[in-house]
Structure 1
Amino acid sequence: MKINTKYFGEIEIQESDIITFETGIPGFLMETEFVILPLSDDKVFHAMQSVKTAELAFVITNPFLFFQEYDFSLEDSVVEQLAIERVEEVQVYNILTVRDPLPDTTANLQAPIIINSKNNFAKQVILNNTEYQTRHHIFEKTPAQQKG
């Protein structure tokens, strides 16, 4: 099927690549179908593109590429909702706020995107009782940058 995208214009996608957020995502409850498209050749950055709304795309990344110690537990209700049977089925992404200059880019570690790769069910989970915030710098800051 063909969709219009924010970063790539009109493209062809496979229906099997669509991930489904049963109840949408916070702030976009009517947006339930997305596709993940690579933004960089190294596949570090991706666009989570709405299938329905061309202008709606979130820049996302695998948090473990930047935060090796990132760790959290999913509530049983989330595991059931996404029909997760094995940890190997779970993909985790975080939405980025891309800034200029790029080193000021931050990741929302408090609300990861959880995808069951077996059935493409997804949910943005809000982590409570955690030290994670909505804006963690993904690039190390030099002492000069930290002053500014």
Structure 2
Amino acid sequence: MKFDICIPLLGFENVTQVELLKIDDIFMKMNSTTDEHISFTLIDPFVLREYDFEVPQNVQDALEINKDSNLLILNIVLIQTPIEESIVNFIGPLIFNTDNNKATQIILSDSTKYGVAEKISDFLKK
């Protein structure tokens, strides 16, 4: 599924459209449609932890979000070996409106309870 980036991604301002590809029930791949060298592995944060945040009004407007919108929330993950050592960025969630194929990333405030580099192993039951 292709999505138009309606607010530029931090550090990747030239990426205007991405394609999401499902890897499995937890991971997805996000590729730029215009630059084959730009690709991210994404993870469903809700399989790891309780995760909630407010979407700023300007982002709601840009993504045309309303109370009935179908949203997909994913986070960038840096894959490591073993997979449990992979690092998740919880302060920069990507928001995909699957109703109109618009997407963007938001950066949560510094006072958030989430980190920029948390290991998957920190959330696995011991």
**TM-score under structure 1 normalisation?**
0.76
Query: 1:3 — aligned with what?
Result: none
User: Are 1:109 and 1:135, in contact at CA under 8 Å, matched by a contact in 2?
Assistant: yes
Measure how far apart 1:88 and its partner are.
4.4
Measure, in 2, the Cα distance between the counterparts of 1:23 and 1:32.
Answer: 9
| Correspondence 1:73 to 2:54 | yes
The residue identity in structure 1 corresponding to 2:73 is: V
Measure, in 2, the Cα distance between the counterparts of 1:35 and 1:80.
Answer: 22
- Which runs of no fewer than 5 residues in structure 1 stay unpaired? 1-16, 143-148
Residue from 77, 82, 105 that aligns with 1:124: 105
Measure, in 2, the Cα distance between the counterparts of 1:127 and 1:89.
Answer: 21
The residue identity in structure 1 corresponding to 2:13 is: L
| Correspondence 1:90 to 2:71 | yes
Measure how far apart 1:134 and its partner are.
0.8
Stretches (4+) displaced over 4 A:
none
Measure, in 1, the Cα distance between the counterparts of 2:108 and 2:122.
Answer: 24
Measure, in 2, the Cα distance between the counterparts of 1:51 and 1:134.
Answer: 26
Measure, in 2, the Cα distance between the counterparts of 1:111 and 1:87.
Answer: 23
- Matched-pair identity in %: 27
The residue identity in structure 2 corresponding to 1:21 is: I
- Which runs of no fewer than 5 residues in structure 2 stay unpaired? none
Aligned ranges 1:1-148 → 2 under 5 Å? 17-40=1-24, 43-67=25-49, 69-86=50-67, 88-128=69-109, 129-140=111-122
**TM-score under structure 2 normalisation?**
0.88
Q: Which is bigger in relative contact order (C-alpha 8 A, separation at least 6)?
A: 2
What SS does the corresponding residue of 1:79 show, helix, strand or coil?
helix
Measure, in 1, the Cα distance between the counterparts of 2:81 and 2:59.
Answer: 35
